[in-house]
A and B are shown apart, each in its own frame.
Chain A
Amino acid sequence: MRGLQLPLSQTQKVRLQNALNHLESLSSKVNSDASVTVADSISVNHEDGVLKGHGTADIQGDLVATLCGVVERVNKLVYVRALRSRYKPEVGDIVIGRVVEVSQKRWRLEINYSQDAVLMLSSMNMPDGVQRRRTAVDELNMRSIFEEKDVVCAEVRGFQHDGLHLQARSQKYGKLNRGQLLTVPPYLVKRQKQHYHHLEQFGVDLILGCNGFIWVGEHIEAKDDMVEDQVSHPNKNSASLEELEKNYTALETRKYICRAANAIRVLSTLGFNMTLEIIKGVIDLSLSQNLDIHDMLGSEFFVLVAEKEAERRSSSKKKR
């Protein structure tokens, strides 16, 4: 929990410390002999012909860790996996990126990785839905699909010779409007079965990108919104203030969007994993307490969330 800047009163500090200690005690059963720090030697059977992976170094015949993390062993490969590392893309990850450049037949997106990802024009569905070869006219009209600074949701296709490639072939991928983008440390978002969540009771779409970008927005039906975009896009630039005002997100939905966003902010500061269950729990907690949306970022709610998480984890442990 880095950079905690909230002014906590004495009792709140004590409660927070108790909750964090409780959480630590619950998780210490994880094989602690597998965790290493820099320059710890890794116990290895030398006769087996071990493969030295990332985070290890061979110093005077001894295998020594160069990272702080957990030792993983896969068949003959031994490597050290850091707990708080930069985002590492895997094939099939759902990521959210921001377009930084429109190039020849591709868009470059920033996805919180060491390089910019590439989204090829051929990996995008065409607005009219027809499967066809991309012509030069399509290439000239790329900006009508995605412009610079647009927020795009896509899936990792793989690593090609020129970098990381993404694809957005399904209807649920594409440009994200009407909401806000939040950034959390990438290691808090673990890979799960579902990254798209639709909170029905709130009418809010929640997309947990594996790269730490999280989108919270108004629910948009996964339909041909590409076609709609084509029609409404020229209007947006010349729309008057009144027309824009009519188009704003409804206040009720907006309240839920802000609540979800604040829930994610609190969880990110506390360093808890982002899963739908936990986020929903935090939102329900704030609703049951009748808290003002802005008060969710205050110290009292902070401590409450930590305590609730400790309770939740201990109860789920007892169930097992």
Chain B
Amino acid sequence: MVGLSLGEQHFIQGGISQDLRCDGRKRLTFRPIHVETGVIPQANGSARVRMGATDVIASVKAELGKPSFLQPNKGKVSIHIDCSSTAEPAFEGRGGDELSSELSNALQSCLLGGKSGEGAGIDLSSLIVIEGKICWDLYIDGLVVSSDGNLLDALGAAIKAALSNTGIPRVQVAVGESSDDQPEVDVSDEEFLQFDTSGIPVIVTLTKVGRHYIVDATSEEESQMSSAISFSVNRQGHICGITKRGGAGMDPSIILDMVSVAKHVSEQLINKLDSEIASAEAEDQE
């Protein structure tokens, strides 16, 4: 990340306070989002999302596994993010590990809810095959190819798109002799069930610079932030997860204000994202 001179920083802060950012956007305008699905044919589902110069890829792999003892009627999902060293020279070797784990944790809390699986954006009970014995394990992997700010939003959008592109193979369960035996399953290669993604939330990050918040910050604007809060909001306008980054503390009234701004912005984002995903799927089919 190249540093910015005082004059440039002043210019960026001035732009944000006057509602005219460096590329002409308003404070609550997103950069154009470009979605491509099916970029990784070997995965069950994949998507690539570009927001300006930020470029991320998400892939979903489904494998059969045993459900956890405490939740026998729910499948398992694990999210892991990797920051590629092509994104930033600082990410080479172990440099990107901190950011990767931060993003993975934030995404897990936003999409998967708490430890008990409560309030998850992804419906885990739809992943069960045989209760207590066999369930689908979803491994969601994200890769940051190019970083220009707002990674969390882009990854959230990519995961949503990848999940809507995911096809879970149909499983035929052979009736076992006794209930203790491991039942035989026949995983179909042909038929796929589309994953239901209407309940999956999107993530909106509000970055506070000076007195105002902006949406979809570039990396230059992020360098000026005092703090940033990421909200994951679903279609019904419910908040599924909140993550705060940045060292500065905030008055609670500001957070409530940000919540309402995030709800308002997320409506537009969900509609935009859905239409982009639909057109990407249509193109994919061609």
Interface of A is mostly: mixed
Contact among B3, B7, B21, B25 for A178, CB-based, below 8 A: B7
**B20 interface residue (CB < 8 Å to A):** yes
Pick the most buried of B2, B5, B211: most chain A CB atoms within 10 A of its CB: B5
- Give the shortest distance, in Å, between B48 (CB) and chain A (any CB): 11
Which A residues are in CB contact (< 8 Å) with B25? Answer: 294
Contact between B22 and A251, CB atoms less than 8 A apart: no
Q: A98-B2, A150-B5, A248-B10 are in contact. Are A180 and B22 (CB under 8 A)?
A: yes
A249 to B11, CA, bound (A): 7
Query: 1/0 contact trace for B1-20 toward A, CB 8 Å?
Result: 01111111011111101101
Q: Cβ of A148: which chain B residues have Cβ within 8 Å of it?
A: 3
Residues of A within 8 A of B8 (CB): 151, 179-181
* A180-B11, A244-B10, A245-B17 given; A258·B5 CB < 8 A: no
**Chain B residues whose CB sits within 8 angstroms of the CB of A6 once the complex forms:** 32, 34
Nearest CB in chain A: distance from B202 CB, A:
19
Interface: A261 (CB within 8 A): yes
User: A259-B24, A265-B23, A294-B29 are known contacts. Are A247 and B7 too (CB-CB below 8 A)?
Assistant: no
- A98: chain B residues at CB < 8 Å are 2-3, 5
Within 8 A of A (CB), among B205-227: 210-211
Chain A residues, CB < 8 A from B11 = 177-180, 217, 249
- The answer to whether B24 touches A178 (Cβ under 8 A) is no
B61 within 8 A of A: no
Does B50 lie at the interface of the complex (its beta carbon under 8 Å from any beta carbon of A)?
yes
**Complexed CA–CA distance, A228 and B24 (Å):** 30
Q: For residue B2, which residues in chain A have a CB less than 8 angstroms away from its CB?
A: 98, 149
Tell me which of A236, A254, A261 contacts B6 (CB under 8 A).
A236
Residues in B neighbouring A259, C-beta threshold 8 A: 24
Task: Count chain B CB atoms within 10 A of each CB in A244, A247, A254, A296 and give the residue with the most.
Answer: A254
Residue of B nearest to A182 (CB): B22
Q: Residues of B contacting A150 with CB < 8 Å?
A: 5-7
Say yes or no: B24 contacts A247, CB within 8 Å.
no
In chain A, positions 148-175 with a C-beta closer than 8 Å to chain B are 148-151, 175
Q: Which residues of A contact B7 (CB under 8 A)?
A: 150-151, 175-179
Of B4, B17, B24, B210, which is within 8 A of A292 by CB? B24
Contacting residues, chain A, for B22 (C-beta < 8 A): 180, 258, 261
Contacts of A176 in B (CB 8 A): 5, 7
Please, which residues of chain B bring their CB within 8 A of the CB of A296?
A: 24
Nearest CB of chain B from residue A93's CB, rounded to whole Å:
21
Within 8 A of A (CB), among B164-187: none
- Given A5-B50, A248-B18, A298-B32, the answer on whether A177 and B6 have CB atoms closer than 8 Å is yes
CB distance from A288 to the nearest CB of B (A): 17
In the docked arrangement, what's the CA distance between A193 and B37, Å? 49
Bound Cα distance A309, B127 (Å): 55
Chain B residues near A241 (CB, 8 Å)? 210-211
20 residue pairs A–B, Cβ–Cβ below 8 Å:
A5-B34, A98-B3, A147-B5, A149-B5, A150-B5, A176-B5, A177-B10, A178-B11, A241-B210, A241-B211, A244-B10, A254-B14, A254-B15, A258-B15, A258-B20, A258-B21, A294-B23, A296-B24, A297-B23, A298-B32
Residues of A within 8 A of B (CB): 5-7, 98, 147-151, 175-181, 217, 236, 241, 244-245, 247-249, 251, 254-255, 258-259, 261-262, 265, 292-294, 296-298
The 3 closest A-B pairs by CB, nearest first: A293-B24, A177-B7, A248-B14
